[in-house]
């Protein structure tokens, strides 16, 4: 209905109507029921048909999204003092939470129906500075408009099919986000209240049983969520496109990337990092030998996930393709191809969870800049390995993404469980943080000395001694 309505309007009026819908969705609470995303998709399809230009369409959508978010922020900022005066003690806690997680919520909220209306208001209510809000909301609004308009413009498909796909994908993303939030909250509660379980009996047995049940539930539910998103319909097209991109060097690189780094290796490194932290604390006399079991605690949930994934199993593609021998410069793993294809989907989830665990163990005491580098390396490693399985044709795209999401959710749960307990009971954390701060101070001091020394070089150059030539002695004739 929206595409038919917009298709009968002049181009300038199409821009105006879509901009009004997109801005009003965020600016007013009534935007919860306004078809902003649908209007952007319809405008992209009209751009594909030549009714409007695609670049102005993307710009109009981006400007409208930014304007709507700013108006919603101003609305929350205006009504904030009245609401905050009622229960100030609760708003102080909300301010701390929004100060810590508000930037991510603003960036991700632009992509979810309902959150586009509520999150900017919450940012204004909680006193987030507008500069910080704009630095998150503006890039998100631009990317959201580019995705909605650009994808529909490139697709050129019928409006109803594309709208159904986008609606399913948005619903699946919302369900997965709710699952991750629930896992993090449950993990934080369990990490802060470990004594609640000991009243019921053996805490270790109950903890392992609860983790096993939760892992089985996630292994069953996450693939269903990805399947509901409609991503499985693109498996055949992506596999056909990947086969068209095969080269000898690319195939060998993907083969090495998929099979060289495996989750047992990362699990072993994570155990060494945990034991190293325990040993550093024990040398200071702050941890006894029994604390080694607590140090190895974050490794246990990953083993539980591996058991759950192996119990379910991941079905390989019906047909496994290989490059032609005449066009391939290297040994083809034809004999091991079928076996590796069966292991492809099952290895991605533990690898993603192991990457998240290792990144959390290494980066939890580092400053934010170094922590970002560590997490970026972990995400890159997991993504390259998972993409290599898809490139080789040994794993479906939808199952690979489901495995990645499963590993990421499990890593978030694991970090939430152990962050509170290890930070309270591990005295090596402040020592590591102090060591990092001291090293950064040394580096800064050396840099300052180098700069000052470079400036003072002309004044400290040694002067060449003057050579005095004695006058010739006069001798009497």
The 3-state secondary structure of the chain reads: CHHHHHHCCCHHHHHHHHHHHHHHHHHCHHHHHCCHHHHHHHHHHHHHCCCCCHHHHHHHHHHHHHHHHHHHHHHHHHHHHHHHCCCHHHHHHHHHHHHHHHHHHHHHHCCCCCHHHHHHHHHHHCCCCHHHHHHHHHHHHHHHHHHHHHHHHHHCCCHHHHHHHHHHHHHHHHHHHHHHHHHHHHHHHHHHCCHHHHCCCCHHHHHHHHHHHHHHHHHHHHHHHHHHCCHHHHHHHHHHHHHHCCCHHHHHHHHHHHHCCCHHHHHHHHHHHHHHHHHHHHHCCCCCCCHHHHHCHHHHHHHHHHHHHHHHCCCCCCCCCCCCHHHCCCCCCHHHHHHHHHHHHHHHHHHHHHHHHHHHHHHCCCCHHHHHHHHHHHHHHHHHHHHHHHHHCCCCHHHHHHHHHHHHHHHHHHHHHHHHHHHHHCCHHHHHHHHHHHHHHHHHHHHHHHHHHHHHHHHHCCCCCCCCCCCCCCCCC
d(CA 96, CA 102): 9
* CB atoms near residue 29 (< 10 Å): 11
d(CA 286, CA 72): 51
d(CA 204, CA 215): 16
Q: What is the pLDDT of residue 62?
A: 92
If we measure between CA atoms, which residue out of 13, 125, 36, 113 comes closest to residue 78?
Answer: 125
If we measure between CA atoms, which residue out of 9, 6, 12 comes closest to residue 36?
Answer: 6
Burial class (CB in 10 A: 0-12, 13-18, 19+), 262: middle
Q: What is the pTM of this model?
A: 0.62
Handedness of CA 454, 455, 458, 460 (dihedral sign): negative
If we measure between CA atoms, which residue out of 125, 114, 87, 91 comes closest to residue 170?
Answer: 114
d(CA 155, CA 238): 14
Within 13 Å and on the Cβ side, how many CA atoms surround 355? 27
Task: Say which residue the tokens 């490794």 belong to.
Answer: 299
Residue ranges in the chain whose pLDDT is less than 70: 1-5, 7-8, 29-34, 83-97, 155-167, 170, 191, 193-205, 281-294, 313-318, 325-345, 420-477
Which phi and psi angles does 59 have, rounded to 5°? -65, -40
Q: What is the pLDDT of residue 448?
A: 53
Q: What is the pLDDT of residue 10?
A: 82
Q: Which two tokens stand for residue 458?
A: 């002309």
Q: What is the pLDDT of residue 465?
A: 43
d(CA 142, CA 41): 15
Residue spans of the domains in the chain: they are 2-156, 174-433
Q: Which two tokens stand for residue 198?
A: 């000991």
Cβ atoms of 173 and 112 within 8 Å: the answer is yes
If we measure between CA atoms, which residue out of 428, 424, 437, 436 comes closest to residue 275?
Answer: 428
């Amino acid at each position: 209905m929206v595409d038919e309505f917009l298709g009968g309007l002049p181009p300038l009026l199409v821009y105006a109507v879509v901009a009004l819908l997109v801005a009003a969705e965020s600016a007013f609470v009534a935007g919860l029921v306004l078809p902003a995303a649908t209007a952007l998709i319809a405008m992209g399809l009209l751009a594909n048909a030549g009714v409007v230009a695609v670049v102005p369409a993307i710009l109009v959508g981006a400007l409208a999204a930014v304007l709507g978010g700013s108006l919603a922020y101003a609305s929350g900022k205006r009504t904030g003092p009245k609401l905050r005066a009622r229960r100030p003690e609760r708003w102080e806690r909300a301010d701390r939470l929004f100060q810590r997680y508000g930037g991510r919520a603003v960036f991700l909220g632009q992509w979810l129906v309902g959150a586009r209306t509520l999150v900017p208001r919450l940012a204004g209510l909680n006193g987030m500075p507008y500069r910080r809000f704009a630095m998150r909301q503006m890039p998100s609004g631009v990317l959201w408009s580019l995705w909605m308009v650009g994808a529909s413009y490139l697709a050129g498909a019928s409006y109803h099919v594309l709208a159904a796909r986008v609606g399913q994908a948005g619903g699946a993303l919302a369900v997965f986000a709710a699952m991750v939030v629930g896992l993090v909250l449950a993990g934080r509660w369990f990490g802060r209240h470990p004594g609640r379980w000991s009243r019921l009996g053996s805490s270790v047995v109950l903890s392992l049983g609860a983790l096993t049940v939760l892992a089985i539930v996630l292994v069953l539910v996450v693939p269903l969520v990805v399947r509901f998103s409609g991503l499985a319909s693109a498996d055949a097209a992506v596999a056909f496109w990947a086969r068209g991109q095969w080269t000898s060097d690319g195939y060998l690189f993907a083969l090495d990337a998929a099979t060289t780094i495996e989750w047992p290796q990362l699990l072993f490194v994570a155990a060494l990092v945990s034991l190293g932290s325990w040993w550093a604390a024990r040398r200071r006399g702050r941890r006894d030998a029994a604390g080694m079991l607590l140090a190895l605690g974050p490794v246990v949930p990953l083993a539980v996930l591996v058991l759950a994934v192996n119990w379910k199993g991941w079905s390989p593609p019906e047909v496994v393709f290989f490059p032609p021998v005449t066009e391939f410069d290297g040994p083809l793993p034809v004999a091991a191809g079928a076996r590796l294809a069966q292991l492809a989907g099952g290895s991605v989830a533990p690898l993603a969870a192991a990457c998240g665990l290792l990144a959390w163990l290494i980066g939890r005491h580092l400053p934010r800049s170094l922590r970002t580098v560590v997490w970026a390396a972990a995400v890159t490693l997991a993504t390259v390995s998972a993409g290599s399985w898809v490139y080789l044709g040994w794993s479906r795209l939808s199952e690979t993404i489901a495995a990645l999401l499963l590993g990421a959710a499990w890593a978030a749960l694991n970090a939430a469980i152990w962050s509170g307990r290890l930070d309270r009971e591990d005295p090596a954390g402040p020592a590591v943080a102090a060591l990092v701060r001291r090293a950064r101070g040394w580096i800064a001091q050396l840099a300052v000395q180098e700069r000052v020394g470079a400036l003072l070089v002309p004044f400290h150059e040694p002067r060449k001694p003057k050579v005095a030539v004695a006058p010739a002695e006069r001798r009497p004739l």
